[in-house]
Structure 1
């Protein structure tokens, strides 16, 4: 077995469905397995997997054991020479895994690989590539100064070494995963991917970022840094410093003061930061499926037309709802369109192959929306 793709799910049934379909398409030419591990989702995620994907491995936890422990569980039963840890609210472009394999197989010094992540609005997610969050850098981030936190020296579409990757997509040899002990189970939420990336580099490898292939990640890093987020972030960083840095009382006090100040600043400006979602004036469906077009025209209450792939030639499309049929347009082309028409009050929805729903997200700090038909 060449590759094991591990998807940790919690309560995102429709997004998980798309994720699995995209992985199946992206592993078409690779000997691969998919392992879904569910952290006691209250929705019908597990039922969906059993009915729609009976041949993939499903692990059902009876309680939510967190990110680290669940992924470690899944990797223990993985058979692949390589492992990809993947969030359920992602969609992988065709060819992504083959690019990762090509780079890893050409160098024995590369640890984990991450890729260009875009959110549901087509915008780049900066957590795709980060620096090691030293105490000073973390304090700056808590206060909203993120330039040093992210690996800004490497451009979004470049390829090169970065210190820290994001847990939404991490591709590496299973032997390296096991060598560093997997994800540290002291972390429940936040920080585990930072710790994992750091352990890989401490073991003598270099983490690598590929900006030439994309993965869609609907729920990006929250832009609304509320009090609960700040507490969780600080808690994770406190664990990280105790394990890898010389933590001291002065440092801890400084960061706690920073958290307290950040809470006040974020709280006072929270209403200003709330921006209404874009309101589309028309919808374009990229499909050749006339039945799908008919169904959507009955469900969507704005003017709706179909379009072909010649949409790439368009330059000015604003206030438009794009609906992509993956049976017509592959994920890598969909991502190209999203990037081209981002930040123009446009919205994007995807209908996974053969599915009776469309999904998308208009804000990177929300799970997104689903329309079932």
Structure 2
């Protein structure tokens, strides 16, 4: 059996409807390349496995037995796969026609490309700004979800960090890192740098992987002609507390591993304290907002209240 051009790794955790839409878009998007799809299930309580066994028997299923997180589940999918290139793809995405073909063609034509990503779009087709420079202290102020970027979307500091927002054409361009919502890496690069770091449960493992890839001298590329819709949206508000925690813990792990590996570096501990304090404030704020917005109970009917 010939080796597929591309392995698409999907991770399931109680998101059957998203996965069905995503899987349909994968197969509908294909033109010439051959693809294998691997679905790693993090112990979902819905019937996603039964649906895929029935409707997509060609999809290879990996049962994790627990909620193992994004990195570990993707690594399990990578381990059982055989494609020449490996694509991480979030279940809440829809692939535009020809996007995967274009990404594979670019990687095949550019042996120095260590990672390739499409242009990720919001459902309204606005660029999500996921092709970025590596995080710095300034990036925390001018990242794609920061209040300053939302209030002043055209400011030059946000543009410097969100590199992709300046690239309005179709020509591929090199960046520091791209979102793991749709990230393709050639198989030989995975073998050389290793898979995703499983210290990360979810969030920031993509930045750390791109950091390792670039340390080999290879480039991380965004290919705007390949387009994928990401239904994640642009706001972190409303995340459950565990996800807020994992986001900030992931940011700390990224900082520790790439910027402050020495445990005696005081910046390592300062960053950790600042990120954990920020996480606590966001969780407290969201909890308060949920209480304020909770609808008032309906009045008890007088016929019942009088009993």
TM-score tier by shorter-chain length is 0.7 to 0.9
1:46 partnered with 2:49: yes
**Residue of structure 1 in register with 2:301 after alignment:** none
Q: Residues 176-220 of structure 1: CA distance to partner in whole angstroms, max 9, x if unpaired? A: 122111100000011101101111111111100112221111124
Shift of 1:145: 4.2
Change in Cα spacing, 1:39 to 1:138, as seen in structure 2 (3 Å) is: same
Instruction: Describe the SS at the equivalent of 1:207.
Output: strand
Give the Å deviation of 1:55.
Answer: 2.0
By how many angstroms is 1:71 displaced?
0.8
Given the superposition, is the C-alpha separation of residues 261 and 167 from structure 1 closer, same or farther in structure 2, using an over 3 Å criterion? closer
What SS is found at the alignment partner of 1:183?
A: coil
Partners of 2:109 and 2:282 lie apart in 1 by 48
Is the Cα–Cα contact under 8 Å of residues 135 and 251 in structure 1 kept in the other structure?
Answer: no
2:237 to 224, 229, 252: 224
Q: 1:133 aligns with which of 99, 118, 135?
A: 135
Q: Counterpart of 2:277?
A: 260
What is the TM-score with the length of structure 2 in the denominator?
0.78
1:82 aligns with 2:85: yes
SS at match of 2:28: helix
Shift of 1:236: 1.2
The TM-score, its normalising length taken from structure 1, stands at: 0.65
The structure with more helix, counted as a fraction of residues: 2
After superposition, what is the alpha-carbon deviation per residue over 1:279-329, rounded to whole angstroms, capped at 9, x for unaligned?
Answer: xxxxxxxxxxxxxxxxxxxxxxxxxxxxxxxxxxxxxxxxxxxxxxxxxxx
Moved more, 59-68 or 25-34: 25-34
Alignment equivalent of 1:245, drawn from 246, 252, 259: 259
Which of 187, 194, 206 is the equivalent residue of 2:207? Answer: 194
How many residues matched? 273
With over 3 angstroms needed to count, the CA separation of the structure-2 counterparts of 1:5 and 1:256, relative to structure 1, is: same
Counterpart of 1:95 in structure 2 is: 98
CA distance 1:268–1:240, change in 2 (3 Å): closer
Determine the structure 1 residue equivalent to 2:182.
169
When residues 266 and 4 of structure 1 are mapped into structure 2, their CA distance, relative to the original with a 3 A threshold, is closer
**Counterparts in 2 of 1:198 and 1:20: CA distance versus 1, 3 Å:** same
Of residues 35, 38, 47, the one that matches 1:32 is: 35
Partner of 2:198, secondary structure, is: coil
Q: In the alignment, does 2:13 pair up with 1:5?
A: no
* Cα pair distance change 1:59/1:232, threshold 3 Å: closer
Q: Report the equivalent of 2:163.
A: 151
2:219 aligned residue: 206
Rounded to whole Å, the distance in 2 between the matches of 1:87 and 1:30 is 20
**Whole-Å separation in 2 of the counterparts to 1:28 and 1:143:** 38
